[in-house]
Amino acid sequence: MIGPLVVIADKLLFAHLLERSADFSEPMVLVINAALVSVPFLLLAYRGSKRFIPWLAGMSLTLWLWWHALQKGVAYQRAPDGSGVDMALALLMLVSPAIIGVICVAIDEALRRRTIDG
């Protein structure tokens, strides 16, 4: 449920901050974004991780990145400068689930090894 919640919250916040109605006219984009956001958490669930820290790290990184993208999007909508889409941020948003997933699994593995060794 993390992926859909993050994506829907982003849409709703974007609309609210710009005093517009929320645009859900492209449901497949929402589904794909929700699936991508879910990747790190699906990896942790697949590993059977019950450790709090990897989940918290994944959620923190995900929310920070989406909040940053939301802020940039709202700022651009309020004062467009003609530069268009921030391609570096768009690329980061696309690959971030893999990066965050690797970070979460690495943290989980380090904690697992520390528990076994210590």
Separation between Cα atoms, residue 72 and residue 28, nearest integer Å = 23
Question: What pTM was estimated for this model as a whole?
Answer: 0.89
Indicate the number of domains in the chain: 1
pLDDT of residue 117: 67
Residue 116: predicted pLDDT: 75
Residue 68 lies in domain = 2-117
| Share of residues in the chain with pLDDT > 90 (%) | 84
**33-37, 66-70, 77-81, 89-93: which has the minimum mean pLDDT?**
77-81
Q: Alpha-carbon distance 75 to 14, whole Å?
A: 10
| Rounded-to-5 percentages of helix, strand, coil across the chain | 80, 0, 20
pLDDT band at 60 (very low <50, low <70, confident <90, very high): very high
Q: Considering only CA atoms, which of 113, 61, 114 is closest in space to residue 92?
A: 61
Mean of per-residue pLDDT scores for the chain? 93
